[in-house]
Structure 1
């Protein structure tokens, strides 16, 4: 089994659109949550979202989109995209530059691409309405490929001429965790030298508001709204954007003298087998996933210095995760925090985004704290929940993800 390392990062997020601004926000615990005008116009009880800045993708016509000039695309390239595909393209460009890769190294049989998103509900609705009102003659020929769940893979594989393995992963909020895990498998087993992993979401009304019907969203009228582990937490705040990670075999990275953020040591997964929508109340599935990840990577629980928790700020989910962590690590344990307090919950994007945050901190020497805790939930009083950023990066860290149906994924990173 070959070693796998992270050599490139790219971010389009509510807390920054490049690694420098993201690192600054994480260090200073500056959130990216704001009142979202489309929620306000809808007149519902939901008000907040983690907003991506410097992009205007509100139009259903991609030719009207406004985004940073350095990522300029041709009309024929844009017309098959959803907003999150544009975000992902921008993050991919950053990650490739960060890793020092050439176009030939990207468009190569040894380089693959794994993606995660929920598709674009807004564009799917738009194109179906056009079809129903005007028939096939008025329907867009790009309606399918710009909106369905696979749109992220379709577009990026074609745009960046990917020749290696490719595919999309759909397991709700664990999706990009699965993408990372199976990318690790591809490299560790020698099937690919390199895999780019991207998670992305539109993060708009159509993506986020339906969770309000599940009573999963915070109804707070003012930011931040997202406060994992706080006793008074009342739901999550949704967000969109994209994160890209370049994973390579350690030998491949060394051969081209590539920068290395961390070693991606491996992963584990397990299912709750409990409920379609909520976590197992005792955290059993997540505890098994953590145990399997530690076993697969030869890591003792005592070696782990940081856990980037899935904790979304829902009463049930956070409690379940705290119980799972206590089962594996006991009282005290590693520094524990949820960066969703700053970004909001990225859904399919979350795993990749938080893995990116974790290895960025490892490389640059900090451990992000868990913001917005006013009154710590008694369930977490005996855990090492850090409320301020530590001026030291962890040597061993795990990142947790959980999705609908009780899908749990845990990734393990070690300093290079």
Structure 2
């Protein structure tokens, strides 16, 4: 079977540093931090009192109040970013075969806000069950792609991938595979997450996973810095329109980049910690490069998982050095989580967008908040600390890793006809 080429024709983003792709990219290139004190709830008694929230989002710009009440924020975020991506791609569904257009979406936790609110409301009562009839539909992760498909009448493959923080990348790899194999012409893919609530912050605090730098939120996410103390929770959504090259050319679509490979693996090591030597990360990157038919030296930029956790940052760096050898020192590496925080199941989508735009614009966004080198991390690597760098980016690799040992890597490169 001849494999089809797959290209990116539309992007949409709703992030802590911008509510459109243009705003998001501006924030990345200029090293803007999205961290600030939490406003979604009273966090004064929590160990962590800040996060990277989406700012100024009004769901009623995208839907009426009746529809909004049926959706958890993670679904509302998905609708917002996919609306932008569809418009950006110039998709006119009325003139396309909607049975060949699907939605594959990732989220690690889904409707946690709805779950938290409903259970809290029940616990205040006398034990009589009075639940919102939309409680379950609002909570289910698969309702994000469900709502997107119903909004546009898309009848192709429709499902969610759930692999914790690797969810959106797994969704994109699935979308890439469906199109490459000829089973679909267009897939709207990406991920969304909305877990900045009592359960989300409290739960991660209980695991000692979050930074507690309450006195200086904007510098709290500091990947690869000696004094990093955990990740900063983020929220939002990223949407990507993937399309077969022949379908894109037939309708005269603009093309951002080409998706050329994906790799997945399991650490098979620990429920939350990455393998200390980065063996699973190395395997996912190896598989992605092999899938793309590329050499290790073809990669110019790695958007790393880089969560700002003590163990994770070290293990990912070891994997890169072990895999790429001397070429590792010719790469640009950066963690955009230093600006957006960690969007959990949506991270892979917004970081893939950063990688796509790095390829398109030949600019590598920085890893901000670096103050002190960590002796456990190879300081000869170019982590693009604090300032964006201009360089030719022919190919970029994006890593996302999730609790449960899930590792996913996707590769994009310049489209050259």
Q: TM-score with structure 2 length normalisation?
A: 0.93
The DSSP-based 3-state class of the residue aligned with 1:242 is: strand
Name the residue aligned to 1:60. none
Question: Comparing 138-147 with 161-170, which one deviates more in the overlay?
Answer: 138-147
Structure 1 residue 130 displacement after superposition: 5.0
Counterpart selection for 2:25 from 11, 23, 31: 23
Residues 45-64 of structure 1 mapped to structure 2, 5 A cutoff: 45-55=47-57
Separation in structure 2 between the aligned mates of residue 152 and residue 102 of structure 1, nearest angstrom: 21
Counterpart selection for 1:172 from 142, 164, 174: 164
Residue 352 (1) aligns with residue 356 (2): no
The 1:22–1:318 alpha-carbon spacing in structure 2 relative to 1, beyond 3 Å, is: same
Structure 1 residue 198 displacement after superposition: 2.4
Separation in structure 1 between the aligned mates of residue 165 and residue 52 of structure 2, nearest angstrom: 16
Question: Comparing 147-156 with 195-204, which one deviates more in the overlay?
Answer: 147-156
Structure 1 residue 13 displacement after superposition: 0.2
The DSSP-based 3-state class of the residue aligned with 1:41 is: coil
Separation in structure 2 between the aligned mates of residue 194 and residue 275 of structure 1, nearest angstrom: 36
The DSSP-based 3-state class of the residue aligned with 2:229 is: coil
Separation in structure 1 between the aligned mates of residue 158 and residue 172 of structure 2, nearest angstrom: 12
Would you say how many aligned residue pairs link Structure 1 and Structure 2? 404
1:37-62 Cα shifts (integer Å, max 9, x gaps)? 4565341220221121112xxxxxxx
Separation in structure 2 between the aligned mates of residue 356 and residue 8 of structure 1, nearest angstrom: 10
User: Which segments of 5 or more consecutive residues in structure 2 lack a partner in the other structure?
Assistant: none
Separation in structure 1 between the aligned mates of residue 70 and residue 190 of structure 2, nearest angstrom: 18
Separation in structure 2 between the aligned mates of residue 109 and residue 413 of structure 1, nearest angstrom: 26
Q: Could you say what the CA RMSD is over the residues aligned between the two structures, in angstroms?
A: 1.8
Contact 1:396 1:414 in 2 (8 A): yes
Residue 83 (1) aligns with residue 73 (2): yes
Separation in structure 1 between the aligned mates of residue 200 and residue 255 of structure 2, nearest angstrom: 34
Residues 288-303 of structure 1 mapped to structure 2, 5 A cutoff: 288-303=283-298
Separation in structure 2 between the aligned mates of residue 120 and residue 31 of structure 1, nearest angstrom: 26
Name the residue aligned to 1:308. 303
Contact 1:80 1:155 in 2 (8 A): no
Name the residue aligned to 2:396. 397
Counterpart selection for 2:131 from 109, 132, 139: 139
Residues 234-245 of structure 1 mapped to structure 2, 5 A cutoff: 234-245=229-240
Structure 1 residue 160 displacement after superposition: 2.5
Residue 216 (1) aligns with residue 209 (2): yes
Question: Comparing 252-261 with 136-145, which one deviates more in the overlay?
Answer: 136-145
Question: Comparing 42-51 with 317-326, which one deviates more in the overlay?
Answer: 42-51
Contact 2:113 2:195 in 1 (8 A): no
Q: TM-score with structure 1 length normalisation?
A: 0.93
Contact 1:198 1:352 in 2 (8 A): yes
The 1:359–1:393 alpha-carbon spacing in structure 2 relative to 1, beyond 3 Å, is: farther
The DSSP-based 3-state class of the residue aligned with 1:145 is: helix
Residues 373-412 of structure 1 mapped to structure 2, 5 A cutoff: 373-378=370-375, 379-387=377-385, 388-412=387-411
